[in-house]
Structure 1
Amino acid sequence: MDRASDGDVPRAWPVLVRAATNSTGRLIGNCGIFVGRTGTTEPEIGYMIRRDCQGNGYAFEAASAVTSEFGRVRPGRLWASVRPANLGSRRVLEKIGMTLDHCEEDHKGTLLFLSRTFSTVSA
């Protein structure tokens, strides 16, 4: 695991889910935890699902698994960022317990920041 310069905060978290269909084994997406827009001390969850595979629950399934593992091994806040128009992703984030924290503007427009805090490490 690569370490950031500000101590022992990992640059890339060791949680990544590769999603594949059962029938073909074709890669349909991924989901993981990484250092995102919120900096090195509070990681961000991200996922990408092939457009032709969206709407089948894959993003929710992968994001649920990743957030469960994160909550199991590390107390703290987990972030996600999403554009307001990305309704499908916003629904996935809400279903996994993320709530709107704040909004920011960048060169592409409004960006929503959602978070979820895990207060204890579960056994």
Structure 2
Amino acid sequence: MTAPPSGLRPDYPVRTERLLLRPLTIDDVDALLAYRSLPDVCRYVPFGPMTRDEIVRRLSTMWANTGLTDDGQALTLGVEIAGTGRLIGDVVLFWRSRVHRGGEIGYVVHPDVGGNGYATEAAYALLGLGFDHLGLHRIVARIDERNEPSARLARRLGMRQEARLVRNEFFKGEWSTELDFAMLAEEWAAYRAGGTPAPPGGR
């Protein structure tokens, strides 16, 4: 077994084919408000429509991290279109366990750019940060079953659906069913090399 991860300090911006992933700043308030205030965007995620004041508070607290130094922390990065400089969404990498080398990802983008593959491209880069740079063994994504676009995205990333937890959580006034997706480091390596996830390794 390899040593537990020691931390993550990306070189910013993290570049993909079309996107830049970078820390959020106070200059992003209007762009964040444009999608995080929309009820449809927030319907199946663990936050409600946000106000400007709430976004400003988060920018100075939970979104202020530019790296991960210990488990229990989260790294939230803005997703910017490289060619235009427009912030269209954000992604988050949670470091869940140092001992078990576990993490979790989340993603949200403005609905007016949906269907262009931006969320998939950004989430793919986030998996790279988790596996290749932080040294995680396993990364999960937990998704409300009704959020079909998010579930399709997880499958496009090569993540396996491991569980369907029926009506397991009273969420925003009603019972919700959770889909749990996961990927192991060896599956990530195979997917990145050939686009097809390897079968789980049993370790």
Q: TM-score, normalised by structure 2?
A: 0.48
Q: Deviations over 1:51-102 (max 9, x none)?
A: 1121111100001111122221213110101111222111111111111111
The answer for the alignment partner of 1:102 in structure 2 is 163
Flag the structure with higher strand content.
Answer: 1
Give distance in 1, aligned partners of 2:140 and 2:94. 10
1:84 aligned residue (139, 145, 150): 145
Of 31, 34, 59, which residue of structure 1 is paired with 2:94?
Answer: 34
- Residues 84, 110 of structure 1: 8 Å contact kept: yes
Where does 1:1-123 land on structure 2 (aligned, <5 Å)? Answer: 8-13=70-75, 16-22=76-82, 24-35=84-95, 40-41=96-97, 42-73=102-133, 74-104=135-165, 105-108=168-171, 109-119=176-186
Contact kept? 1:17, 1:66, Cα under 8 Å: no
Q: 3-state SS of the aligned residue for 2:129?
A: helix
The alignment-based identity, stated in percent, is 29
Segment of structure 1 superposing worse, 23-32 or 54-63: 23-32
Deviating above 6 A after TM superposition, structure 1's stretches of 4 or more consecutive aligned residues are none
Structure number with the higher helix fraction is 2
Helix, strand or coil for the counterpart of 2:94?
strand
Unmatched 5+ stretches in structure 1 = none
Shift of residue 32, structure 1, vs aligned partner = 2.2
**How many angstroms apart in 2 are the aligned matches of 1:103 and 1:63?**
22
Q: Is the 8 A contact 2:103 2:130 kept in 1?
A: no
SS at match of 1:107: strand
- Structure showing greater relative contact order (alpha-carbon pairs closer than 8 Å, 6 or more residues apart): 1
Q: What count of residue pairs does the alignment treat as equivalent?
A: 112
